A and B are shown apart, each in its own frame.
Chain A
């Protein structure tokens, strides 16, 4: 009997099948962009809660955004691009016993970063884009100070330490080492950002 070679399978339609699958996945899936500014809301007010402690005016940095998206910082009109520097200056003033502050120690600004509070008030007509931009700048001010402090103490920025801490690939031993460092920095520059109910 003559040897017959096996007939070749026609693979011409393979490309069509693959294209079909490809188009299906292109249509039904998305590349998710899930990152953003994390915040914690204050818990619902309790009726028989003790009244809040009195805060000195000099320890309060008021930021108001009105319905025309104008920015009013400490009762003065300000450009968004100057907000970060102004917030840093306020937080880092350190007029009273703050060894790590590098601010001007002015009489009319905050006494200590642990006491300084930024109050953000927005109007119901403020656009969300503007609100996020203001939030972003204020968070950036805190991060800038924390980075500086972490850099001088541990030789690594706060952000990169935090990223490493949140990374799932970091081992538990490294995480245990990072945690107290992060907590110290957070204690030196606590993020005290208060939001009033919009008017």
Chain B
């Protein structure tokens, strides 16, 4: 009868963790494939507006990014709360945009220069005055292809 008696004082068998590395590696590979390295540290708030008539920006190497918006809380003590432009990793003035465009152009191969696109990543709450100034500078620098980067979603609903 002792066959059916439960063992007394027996230790719990250890859960095998041998497959844990496999699971973690799987996750690791997913993230390595699906994401790209962060290039810029955002110093401005960047809650992009929504739109649904959008085109994809491919050829990442041919895109120049201009960020704009209110400085994030960390920088508000130094830079105030009015919307600012960020180029690469620094705050910049409107007048610096032309230099930035020329630098970006110089760093690319010559035959690719006509295909360069400027992507504007601007916070939805910014005022159009700043964006018009940016656009005017881009016109002067003859960088005419632009893209307003947006999230995809219904533009009318998000504006109610």
- A contact residues vs B (CB 8 Å cutoff): 11-12, 14-15, 17-19, 21-22, 25-26, 28-44, 80-81, 122-133, 135-137, 139-140, 143, 166, 168, 197-198
Contacts and interface: CB of A to CB of B under 8 A. Distances in A.
Contact of A36 (B37, B54, B58): B54
Contacts of A35: 54-57, 149-150, 152
B107 interface: no
B99 to A, nearest CB: 17
B81 interface: no
Interface stretch (B5-13, B85-93, B130-138): B130-138
Contacts of A136: 51-53, 150, 155
Interface string B132-160: 10011011101111111111100110110
A40 B147 contact: no
Interface of B: 17-18, 20-21, 24-25, 27-28, 31-32, 34-38, 48-58, 60, 63, 117, 119-120, 122-129, 131-132, 135-136, 138-140, 142-152, 155-156, 158-159
A198 B132 contact: yes
Contacts of B148: 36-37, 39, 132, 135
